[in-house]
């Protein structure tokens, strides 16, 4: 059943008021696509806990209008898992979800994405919200522009209480306005090469293993942790093209490494940056290439899902 809620804003997050309704049963990627793409504006889609496969060669779900897609959990053990399977095709990009430029106020809540190839979410709209979700062992598209979550130019997004772990390619890449709060980034890599369909392809720009704040981007980070992320160039935790990435406090970083390979193909640590790496800065004596470390070391990941 689809609920149509009343949408209001509270502390910049959408708040929905709705009558009690049953959750929607999901049994396949095709089924999920049909439900989402036939939904009305501002629909609340409460999905019963499920586990489905998304063939990595399948086309995207294009979000047609504003909506709140949530996992209807009754306990902490309940999950809504979308798991990528099979090889990707090398000549096309098939992010699992695409939000067009004219679609705003899309909210993903409580979803678990695993092993999805060629990116999970690409947003060109305003006010994307991702909360209480997990992105694990996913791959970015095979090009320099693209990530597990991609926020395009003139888009806005907020990511809260979400885990990114063991992803290949930047976990998040933004060219718009992005706020990240209470999130955990662990063992994500931004490396220039990956293998898909037995072909070697470029992936990512080699920077920003956890977050890349690209040209024109504006990034705010609060109370998040960055553990053991890697890049082969700069900014293994957070990389920013300009000084438009802001540490709002309570962030921590540890063992975020710039890595390379020795002649014997062993991994070599070339540098460390447990904070935000700025390629360029517009004030002060430094002209850029500056690592601004977060305030302290991290303990174990504080998001246990």
Query: Looking at per-residue confidence, does 190 or 274 come out higher?
Result: 274
Instruction: Please give the Cα distance from 273 to 294 (Å, whole number).
Output: 9
pLDDT for residue 16 = 40
> Hey, is 264 helix, strand or coil?
coil
Which tokens in the block code for residue 250? 């309570």
Q: Render pLDDT for 257-301 as a digit per residue (tens, 0 to 9).
A: 998 765 656 678 889 999 999 998 766 656 578 899 998 778 765
pLDDT over 60 at 202, yes or no: no
> Is a pLDDT exceeding 50 seen at residue 19?
no
How many Cβ atoms sit within 10 Å of the Cβ of residue 84?
24
Q: pLDDT of 228-262, one tens digit each?
A: 999 988 899 999 999 999 999 999 999 999 987 65
Report, as an integer, the average pLDDT of 19-31. Answer: 86
Higher pLDDT, 196 or 282: 282
- What integer is the mean pLDDT of 158-177? 96
Which pLDDT score, from 0 to 100, does residue 302 have?
Answer: 56
Whether 166 shows a pLDDT value over 90: the answer reads yes
Mean pLDDT in residue range 34-60? 94
The predicted model scores a pTM of 0.88
264 versus 103: which is more confidently predicted? 103
Q: Looking at the predicted structure, is the pLDDT value of residue 204 above 80?
A: no
173 close to 214: Cβ distance less than 8 angstroms: yes
Can you read off the two tokens belonging to residue 83? 């798991």
State the pLDDT at residue 11.
45
Asked whether the predicted pLDDT for residue 38 surpasses 70, the reply is: yes
Q: Which of 48, 43, 146, 131 is nearest to 96 (CA)?
A: 146
Task: Note the pLDDT of residue 278.
Answer: 94
Mean pLDDT across the stretch 72-90? 87
pLDDT class of 13 with cuts at 50, 70, 90: very low
Q: Is pLDDT larger for residue 264 or for residue 48?
A: 48
Give the H/E segment covering residue 111.
strand 111-114
Share of the chain above pLDDT 90, in %: 64
pLDDT at residue 171, as a whole number:
95
In the chain the first and final C-alpha atoms are separated, in Å, by 27
Residue 62: pLDDT over 60: yes
| pLDDT, tens digit (0-9, with 9 covering 90-100), for 107-164 | 999 999 999 988 999 999 999 999 999 999 999 887 667 899 999 999 999 999 999 9
101-109 mean pLDDT: 98
The secondary structure element, H or E, covering residue 261 is strand 257-261
pLDDT confidence band for 20 (50 / 70 / 90)? low
Q: Identify whether the C-beta of residue 203 lies closer than 8 Å to the C-beta of residue 196.
A: no
Q: Share the mean pLDDT of the chain.
A: 86
Residue pair 205/162 in contact (Cβ under 8 Å)? The answer is: no
Q: Across residues 75-84, what is the average pLDDT?
A: 94
**pLDDT score, position 6:** 43
pLDDT for the residue numbered 289: 80
Measured between alpha carbons, how far is 1 from 33 in angstroms, rounded to an integer? 15
197 against 230, higher pLDDT = 230
């Amino acid at each position: 059943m689809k609920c149509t809620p009343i949408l209001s804003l509270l502390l910049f997050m959408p708040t929905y008021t709705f009558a009690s309704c049953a959750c929607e049963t999901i049994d396949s990627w095709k089924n999920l696509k049909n439900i989402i793409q036939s939904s009305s504006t501002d629909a609340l889609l409460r999905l019963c806990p499920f586990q489905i496969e998304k063939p990595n060669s399948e086309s995207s779900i294009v979000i047609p209008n504003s909506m709140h897609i949530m996992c209807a959990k009754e306990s902490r053990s309940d999950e809504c898992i979308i798991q990528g399977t099979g090889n990707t095709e090398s000549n096309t990009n098939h992010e699992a979800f695409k939000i067009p430029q004219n679609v705003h106020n899309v909210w993903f809540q409580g979803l678990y994405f695993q092993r999805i190839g060629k990116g999970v979410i690409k947003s060109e709209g305003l006010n994307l919200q991702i909360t209480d979700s997990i992105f694990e062992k996913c791959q970015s598209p095979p090009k320099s522009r693209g990530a597990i979550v991609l926020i395009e130019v003139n888009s806005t997004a907020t990511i809260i209480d979400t885990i990114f772990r063991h992803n290949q390619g930047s976990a998040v890449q933004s060219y718009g306005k992005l706020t990240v709060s209470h999130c955990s980034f662990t063992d994500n890599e931004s490396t220039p090469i990956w293998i898909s369909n037995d072909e070697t392809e470029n992936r990512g720009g080699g920077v920003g293993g956890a977050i890349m704040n690209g040209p024109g981007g504006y990034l705010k980070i609060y109370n998040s942790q960055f553990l053991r992320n890697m890049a082969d160039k700069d900014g293994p935790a957070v990389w920013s093209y300009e000084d438009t990435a802001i540490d709002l406090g309570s962030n921590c970083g540890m063992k975020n490494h710039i890595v390379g390979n020795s002649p014997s193909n062993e991994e070599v640590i070339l540098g460390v940056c447990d904070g935000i790496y700025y390629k360029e800065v517009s004030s002060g004596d430094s002209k850029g290439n500056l690592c601004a470390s977060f305030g302290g070391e991290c303990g174990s990941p504080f998001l246990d899902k």
